[in-house]
Structure formats: C-alpha cells, structure tokens
Structure 1
Amino acid sequence: MRLLRAFFCLSLVVSASAATPKILPLMSAPPKAERAEKKSVVALPNYDEETATRLQIFLDNNYFGPGKIDGQMGEFFRKALLAYKRSHLMPLRGTVDQWLLDQVPETFTNYTIPPEAENFVGPTASKPSEQAKLKGLKYGSLLEFVAERFHSAEDYLRKINRPMNLDELKPGDTVRVPNVVPFKIEDLQPGFAEPNPAFANRIVYVDTKERFLLIYENNQLVAEFPITPGSTKLPAGRIIRSVFCGWP
C-alpha cells in the first residue's frame, strides 16, 4: 500500500498540479567546482545525526530523494547527495558543505494532527487480492500518516519524540517532525495533468542497477528519486521517454 502511494507521489512530481507545495528559493547560488569533476567513487564519512537530517531535508526539498528521512547515512542518501553535487558542479568531497546546511536553518518543526487526518486511516491489507476488497488504500495508523506526510521513517519519529507514545496518536496531538515540505494527501485531486510543450526536453531514465529514477532536462540532471525496480522474474528494465508535463 505504501509503495502504491509512493509511486503516485512520484508521478505528481513529474506532473505536478497547482496544489503542489513549492519550496523556498535557495538563499544563494551553490558553490561551483573549478571544473566539472568526472564521476568517481567519493568516500563520505558518517555524518552526525543532526547534520545527516539537515542534508536529507535539503535533498528532499530539491527533488533529489534521499529515501526516508532518518538521520542515517544510508545508500540512497549517499547517492542522492553526490548526484546533487555533480549536477550542480559542486566540489566532490567528504567534508560537509556549509552552504548545503545553510539552506536548512531549522531542522525540526511541530505538526498538530488535524481532525480530518482520521479520514485517511483505516483497515489495511498486504496482499493485492485482499486490497481489492477494501474501499480504499488507507494508512494503517496516524503514525504512518505523519511519517509519510513528512517523508520520514516511523522509528525516527519515535526517537525524536521520546517519551511520547506515537502508537497512541490522536487528532490534536503535536508531533516533532523534520522541517521538510509536507506531502498533503488532502490536496490531491483525481485526474491527469495536461501535456505541457514547455517540458518537451525532459527525459525520464530508470536506472535499475543504481535503483534510481532520473529526470533530465536539456541533458542536465534536475531530479532523482529512489525506486524499487522489480524482481528478477519481472524486471522493470531501463526506460527512456520524454516528459511533457512537470512541476512549476
């Protein structure tokens, strides 16, 4: 169920509606490397949890998906960070770029669960045959609702909200969450975005080896998202196609 919602969210990024929240403009231009650096292996140290969280928030807000925000140096986080630096011709190095941290001056914010959140919570099922019998694919709990809204791992939310019991959340409770642009499921509307010729130069590339979906515009990488490419029996394959719609 979460995978279906994640795929739908990804579709929205490629073909965003007017309701898609916009991120604030960058405080300044990113520092450039003296010359474009060739793609090579770069050893990233294990950043402390606060630093890792801020970098994950920055990447998430700028369409380079680090996976779930959890303050950890995971595979997708490392790949997304290096991909962002390469695409913006930033120096590739293991030390933290202060400019990136400056874009996220506040790591956390507070979120009060509204009464209507309960409309998106209900019975769940893991098997497709069982899901087909449900009236809708909802969240299994308010914790899952909050975690997906703020692109976070549930265990990480538990950690930063101790000693609060997040398994007993209810409307009106205030939760500490990463200061990321939230996914507002209540703003979604059925339908499809109209093709936009202005985005005719956008291309989607599915990299099944690195497990990322990449979006290029005029041969420039502008977005990257982690994916589950499929099993060996039903592989997703590598796909290149034009995209005629996109975010503002």
Structure 2
Amino acid sequence: MRALPLLLAFGFAFAACQLDGGETEPTTDPDPAPAPDTTSASGRISTTGGLGLPSADDLEGGRYTGRGRDLVEVDTAGQAAAARTNPETLAAIDTTEAWSSPIRVPLGGDVAGPSVVKLQTLLDRAGFSPGQIDGRWGDNTELALSWFQKAEGLRVTGIADRATVRSLSQRAGQPGQLITTVTLSEDAVAGPFTEIPDDVYAKAELDRLGYESLSEKLGERFHAAPELLARLNGGRDLDALSAGDTLRVPNVGSAPRPSSAVSRLVISSEAGYLHALADDGTVLFHAPVTVGASYDPSPEGAFEVRAIARNPEWHYQPAILESVPDDAEEATLPPGPNNAVGVVWMALSKEHYGIHGTSAPETIGYASSAGCVRLTNWDAERLAAMIEPGVPVRFRDVAGRPGQRAPTDTTTMAARSR
C-alpha cells in the first residue's frame, strides 16, 4: 500500500488524522434531531515529516515487544519453551506437506511458519483479528489470542493449546481448510492498477487512489501480506496472474456476524487494540489499531460515533498547511484504498477525530500515530458494518489513566465522503 506521511516525534510514527469543521460535520448536540448524517463526514490528517514507510528494521523492532501484557496474563516462560521445540520456519510455508498437518501446539513465542499462518487465519475468521496475516508471531497475534481466551473463559496464557484451537475453530465456523486454493475471476484480477504520484496535485488528477498492483489488491482481499501470498505459491509473481489462474490463500471467509448488538467501543491507546462490546461486556470483535501516542481521551467514555463515511475523499487546504504557501491552490484527493484514511471514516463526537482504514496495513499495531485510530481496511469495513452512529466510544490506556493531551497539529488536510 502507499505510505502515509511520517510523524517523527515518537521515534517513528504515522500521520494523525482529525475531523476538520465544515458544513458536512455532524452536529455536536448530545441529543441531535434529526440523527447524524451517515453519508458524509469531514476530517483532516496531520504530519510533520516526509513521505515514506518506517524502515523494515523499525517495523521489526516493534513487532514483538509484549505490548498489552498489563491487561492480559501471558505465560512468557511457556511461550519460550514452546518456541524452543518448534521446528517450523517461514521457508516451510511453500511446501505442500505444511498444509496436511494440524496446527502445531503448543504454539507461541517468537516463531514463524505454517502453524502461525493457520492460527492467524482462525483468529481472523473468529473476529479476533491479528491484523495483516504474515506467518510471524507478534504482538497483534498474541493480543488477539489472549483476548479470545479471556472471552471464551479459557485459561489466558497467550499460547495456542489444543483447547484454544478447538474453541477458535468452533467460533470460526469450523472451516475444513485454513489454506485453500481459489480460481481467480475476472473481477479478482481487474485493474486499473496505477502508480500513485507523490505530488498532491497529480494525485488530485486521478479518478481514484486505487491499487498500484494486483499483488496489493490480492493482499487486501485475503487479509495477507503479499510476500506471504507469494511464499504460499512457491514464489510466484502475483502481478503476472490472470483470470482462471489458481492461487493458494488463507481461508479468511466472510466477516463473522456478532452474536449480539454492539453496545460500545473501547480503544486501548497503549496496548493498541479496539474492542466492540455487547451490553454484558462480551468482546464481539477485537482488532489491532494504531492510536495516537499522545491522546486526550475521556476515561468516562463520553464520545460516540457520529457518522460513517465510506469511500471518503480528502480536501487539500494549503491555508492550514504549515509547509505549503497559503496562496497555493486547494485540491480534492479522490477516494480509494490508497487514500490516507483508507476506505471507511467513522467520525467521532470528539471534535477533529475519527476511526478509519489505512493505506499501510503492515504498520497497524507496530507504528504509532499522533491522532486518529487506524485499522486495516478490512477491519475498518467489518467494524463499520457492525455499528450505527450513536455507539459510545471510550479510550483507555493500560493503567486506565486519562491520556495526555495531543500536540497541536501543524499540517492538515480535510476529508469528506463522496
């Protein structure tokens, strides 16, 4: 996916985005009539750095740090023991034999390979998202597994044992295969695929900020890193595929239907996850998020989702951009998966903030922003389908303390729904 602007204030971090006032912004009246408009919203994104993704070393450094262990118990000694006896490697992913055996248990710790891919696929299907499926254990997978164990009343260890895998399989619809072979349709391989320029006015000339390659599109479709898809298929060039070709992919299936209505959302700013909860506190959906490293949430949960905008476009306003001359022309950046806010924008009643997708799914959970709440595009779509405007949203950090006030933004853009 295309890179979001970098914000370097926290070592490495991605751009924040905030709602920008305007005629399409939902009312802030606590009891509005009529209900908030769900067809449009506005927003802004801030940045103090240049364009580009964090380096591979930066992402690797944030992959497995024990994030969120203050909230869920993890058997780190058991994980280390499981990892020492696990012979699997990423290189084994493209061997046919790897898919004829069940998930190797106990599974946990700093491991990679076919069993991790299968476990991540089960978690995705069960509605406890590991983010991008990549075949490598990390904080996102550990948190998803630990919260699933807690939700199911299992012993919370952060280790996949037989009981956990059995329960996960039931929650995931008991799929016959976790890695499946699909035949690509015309729609699956259809473009157009267009290289997206860095220049904002050149972007504005495009009809859509769509996918740059077929590999990128397939990665989004199957919730997987394109590199993993290539490994699953013997190193095949995904961009050379055509309709009628077959491809081995994670069997992510359809988004699970929640067993109850979503009563509220809880977002952990330090542990980096979002929960959709039922009235009784049951976790109906878990997803990793990138949240501002310096936020000002209310611990009482006074916010709510005020509007949901799909396929949002961005209004580029030089007058409110620090690094752009005020007399430069405004521009409207088109929607698409490579839009800075992805494919869904969920506006919050806290002025200037929202929950949204991303153009860089591999960074979710592993890089921090200084503003809005980012999910993978597929998790943002899942969440938007589960909620309605008016659902309460509460932010918390690991210790349950109010977050710090976010810094003043210096570079902004505004977004609205098409």
The answer to whether the 8 A contact 2:276-2:286 is kept is: yes
2:274 counterpart residue number = 213
1:108 counterpart residue number = 179
Percent identity reads 26
Structure 1: distance between partners of 2:296 and 2:115: 34
Cα shift at 1:85: 0.7
Is it true that 1:165 corresponds to 2:237 in the alignment? yes
Q: What amino acid is the match of 1:72?
A: R
Cα shift at 1:171: 2.3
Is it true that 1:136 corresponds to 2:193 in the alignment? no
Structure 1: distance between partners of 2:293 and 2:199: 16
Structure 1: distance between partners of 2:298 and 2:288: 14
- The residue matched to 1:206 in structure 2 has which SS? strand
Cα shift at 1:215: 1.0
Structure 2: distance between partners of 1:53 and 1:216: 27
Q: 2:250 aligns with which of 161, 164, 178?
A: 178
- The residue matched to 2:127 in structure 1 has which SS? coil
Query: Which of the pair has more CA radius of gyration?
Result: 2
Is it true that 1:82 corresponds to 2:146 in the alignment? yes
Paired residues in the alignment total: 199
The answer to whether the 8 A contact 2:129-2:288 is kept is: yes
Q: CA RMSD in A?
A: 3.3
- The residue matched to 1:177 in structure 2 has which SS? strand
- The residue matched to 2:122 in structure 1 has which SS? helix
The answer to whether the 8 A contact 2:224-2:250 is kept is: yes
State the TM-score, normalizing by the size of structure 1: 0.67
- The residue matched to 1:92 in structure 2 has which SS? coil
The answer to whether the 8 A contact 1:202-1:217 is kept is: yes
Q: Which moved more, 1:161-170 or 1:99-108?
A: 99-108
2:288 counterpart residue number = 226
State the TM-score, normalizing by the size of structure 2: 0.42
Cα shift at 1:50: 2.3
Against the structure 1 CA distance between its residues 52 and 93, is the aligned structure 2 distance closer, same or farther, given a 3 Å change threshold? same
Structure 1: distance between partners of 2:234 and 2:278: 43
Structure 2: distance between partners of 1:178 and 1:78: 19
Is it true that 1:71 corresponds to 2:71 in the alignment? no
The answer to whether the 8 A contact 2:142-2:158 is kept is: no
Cα shift at 1:210: 1.3
- Where in structure 2 are the equivalents of 1:92-103 lying within 5 Å? 92-93=156-157, 95-102=159-166, 103=169
Higher helix share: 1
The answer to whether the 8 A contact 1:214-1:221 is kept is: yes
- Where in structure 2 are the equivalents of 1:183-202 lying within 5 Å? 199=261, 202=263
Q: What amino acid is the match of 2:75?
A: V
Residues 179-235 of structure 1 deviation map (CA, whole Å, 9 limit, x = unaligned): 11158xxxxxxxxxxxxxx83x61012222111111111122221111222465xx5
Structure 2: distance between partners of 1:237 and 1:181: 35
Is it true that 1:42 corresponds to 2:113 in the alignment? no
The answer to whether the 8 A contact 1:203-1:215 is kept is: yes
Against the structure 1 CA distance between its residues 57 and 167, is the aligned structure 2 distance closer, same or farther, given a 3 Å change threshold? same
Against the structure 1 CA distance between its residues 238 and 155, is the aligned structure 2 distance closer, same or farther, given a 3 Å change threshold? farther
Q: What amino acid is the match of 1:156?
A: L
Structure 1: distance between partners of 2:131 and 2:266: 18
Higher strand share: 2
- The residue matched to 1:61 in structure 2 has which SS? helix
Structure 1: distance between partners of 2:161 and 2:126: 16
Cα shift at 1:119: 3.9
In structure 1, stretches of 5+ residues that fail to align are: 5-14, 16-37, 184-197
Against the structure 1 CA distance between its residues 179 and 99, is the aligned structure 2 distance closer, same or farther, given a 3 Å change threshold? farther
Residues 61-115 of structure 1 deviation map (CA, whole Å, 9 limit, x = unaligned): 1211101112210110111110111112111235532244342542211122211
Structure 2: distance between partners of 1:161 and 1:49: 14
Structure 1: distance between partners of 2:155 and 2:129: 20
2:346 counterpart residue number = none
2:218 counterpart residue number = 146
The answer to whether the 8 A contact 1:151-1:182 is kept is: no
The answer to whether the 8 A contact 1:212-1:226 is kept is: yes
Structure 2: distance between partners of 1:181 and 1:238: 36
